[in-house]
Amino acid sequence: MTIRTLLLAAQILFAATLAADDAILESARAKRAGAERDLATFRSQRIEEEKQLNQQINALYGKLAVARNEHAATDEKLRTLQADVDRARRERSTVIQKATALERALSACAGIALAVTDDAAAFKSDILSGVDARLDHVKRSCSSRMTAEHVFGRTGASINVPVLHIGEAYHLACGATDDTRGLLVSLGDGKWQVSGEFPREAHGMLAAAMASDKIDALPFDISGSLARRPAAKEQSFWEWIETGGFFCWPILALGVLGLLLCIERATTLVTRWPAIRTYAEQALAGCSTIAGAEARESKIESVLLAVEPRLERSMTLIAAVAAIAPLLGLLGTVTGMITTFDVISVEGTGDARNLSGGISVALITTQLGLMVAIPMVLLHAAFRRLVERREATLEAMAEAARGPSAQSPQEASAHA
């Protein structure tokens, strides 16, 4: 009875404990659900706040871009205004100089008037001496003289040549080559450049004038159109190569090498192909009588390995010539451009022709590189196609030799 009572009490106590635990568990679940709802609410609020912040940031970025554009426009206006101010300052300086010269002229006139008033005879003597001085100046200006001058050649290089001055309107560079001989045009700041076409009929006259120090007749460019005419300069092929500089020679050597390789390939793939095909036919015809598939296949592979390299030979080298030639031309152009800009940094730009002359010479290497590369690319493509056709013929002959039931190598060759 006591044991039953104890067991009953224990069951009641256990049930009460379970009920308390269930209550605690339910309370914990309710708290967890509430916490999850609060967390979801917090997350939604945070997401909404992040969206608002992103919108505000994007709006600020837009305002920053607008401000930057306005700042750039303001800077441009400031630069324009500064240029206007500088131009106004220069004009003001010019006006001041003219006013000063005018004041000096007025002072001189006043002095002359005073001298005339004081002594008419002295005034007449001064006027006559001034007129004589001006006539002497005009006579010297209309006379011819020979001086040594630093001028720019047709390519933009600075050279020292004798220059024949005929008055103040006609200047001739009397160099030894076409680049250093011709009419001179002013670049400003006392700089001159050989430009335009030098009259061929003036060559003999100029040589006679330089020999006798007396000029009887020379063509005269009154309108200046002859100086503005582009030079009709004729060059031989080797002169053109020398004008391009050092890099033209390796490009030319690559062209000769590529031409020799193409001749060798054409000879092998066209002229010698019947002999190569006959050799392959005979070798593969003997393979069909070999007993054993592995031995027959090994013999066929050995025949193909002996013939196909003769077809593939030098193809990679032709492709390399086609790729290297324009790169050498580009390297020569870059080197010539660097030299041209070095000259310009020392002598100044002056005129666009001073820059374009050096650039045209620098581009010769690129032109020569492309003249070598384009035929090499076309010939390489043609030879590659011919090699593939020859290899297809060999493969057909090899397939015919692999099985006794297949056609003979001669029939496969005729079919190919």
DSSP output for 384-398: HHHHHHHHHHHHHHH
Note down the domain range covering 224. Answer: 145-234
Write down the pLDDT at residue 94: 86
Indicate whether 335 pLDDT > 80.
yes
Q: Do 291 and 213 fall into the same domain?
A: no
Residue 371 pLDDT exceeds 80: yes
pLDDT digits (tens, 9 = 90+) for 11-39: 787 777 777 777 788 888 888 888 888 88
99 belongs to a structural domain: no
Residues 392, 254 within the same domain: yes
pLDDT above 90 (res 260): yes
Hunting for tokens 């400031």 — which residue is that?
Answer: 78
Q: Kindly state whether residues 199 and 265 are assigned to the same domain.
A: no
Q: Which of 161-175, 336-350, 358-372 has the highest mean pLDDT?
A: 358-372
Q: What is the mean pLDDT of the chain?
A: 75
The pLDDT, as a whole number, for residue 239 is 78
307: how many CB neighbours lie within 10 A of its CB? 20
Domain end (from 234, 258, 278): 234
CB 197 within 8 Å of CB 229: yes
Do residue 270 and residue 386 come from a single domain?
A: yes
Which of these, 98, 414, 99, lies nearest to 281 by C-alpha position? 414
Per-residue pLDDT, averaged over 373-379, amounts to 93
The count of other CB atoms within 10 Å of the CB of residue 193 is: 24
Flag whether pLDDT at 220 surpasses 60.
no
Q: Is 175 helix (H, G, I), strand (E, B) or coil?
A: coil
Tokens of 393: 């013929």
Q: 204 falls in which pLDDT band (50, 70, 90)?
A: low
User: What confidence score (pLDDT) does residue 324 get?
Assistant: 93
Q: Which of 221, 151, 229 is nearest to 190 (CA)?
A: 151
In a domain, 41, yes or no: no
Using left for φ > 0, alpha for ψ between -120 and 50, and beta otherwise, residue 241 falls in alpha
Query: Measuring CA to CA, how many Å separate 212 from each of 140, 173, 176, 177, 374?
Result: 19, 18, 18, 21, 54
**Residue 309 and residue 378 in one domain:** yes
Round to whole Å and give the CA distance between 169 and 166: 7
CA-CA-CA-CA torsion sign (394, 399, 403, 406):
negative
Q: Are residues 251 and 220 in the same domain?
A: no
Residues 213 and 249 in one domain: no
- pLDDT at site 183: 74
Residue 212's Cβ-side half-sphere holds a number of Cα atoms within 13 Å equal to 10
Q: Would you say residue 58 has pLDDT above 80?
A: yes
pLDDT band at 406; cut points 50, 70, 90: very low
Among 319, 317, 315, 328, smallest CA distance to 375 is for 319
Residue 90: inside a domain: no
The answer as to whether 229 is a domain residue is yes
pLDDT above 90 covers a percentage of the chain that reads 9
Average pLDDT over residues 331-347: 78
Whether residue 392 is contained in a domain is answered as yes
Does a structural domain hold residue 18?
no
- Residue that terminates a domain, selected from 213, 234, 255: 234
Q: Are residues 405 and 354 in the same domain?
A: yes
Owner of token pair 């063509």: 219
In this structure, is residue 121 part of a structural domain?
no
C-alpha torsion sign, points 396, 397, 401, 405: positive
Coil, helix or strand at residue 196: coil
Query: Which tens digit of pLDDT belongs to each residue from 84-119?
Result: 888 888 888 888 888 888 888 877 776 665 555 555
The span from the CA of 75 to the CA of 234, in Å, is: 51
Are 302 and 210 found together in one domain? no
- d(Cα 307, Cα 413) in Å, to the nearest integer? 15
Same-domain pairing of 317 and 172: no
Average pLDDT over residues 383-406: 76
Distance CA 409, CA 394 (A): 9
As a whole number of Å, the CA-based R_g of the chain is 48
Q: Compute the average pLDDT of residues 369-395.
A: 88
* Domain final residue pick, 234, 260, 293: 234
In terms of Cβ atoms closer than 10 Å to its own Cβ (0-12, 13-18, 19+), residue 257 is: middle
Q: Identify whether residues 301 and 279 lie together within a single domain.
A: yes
User: Structurally, how many domains does the chain consist of?
Assistant: 2
Please answer whether residues 357 and 386 qualify as being in contact, where contact means their C-beta atoms are separated by less than 8 angstroms.
no
Residue 289 lies in a domain: yes
Q: Percentage of the chain surpassing pLDDT 70?
A: 70
CB distance 219 to 201 below 8 Å: yes
Shared domain for 223 and 281, answered yes or no, is: no
Q: Which of 165-169, 222-226, 266-270, 337-341 has the highest mean pLDDT?
A: 266-270
Alpha helices of 216-351 — where are they, by DSSP H? 225-228, 237-244, 248-266, 273-287, 293-312, 315-347
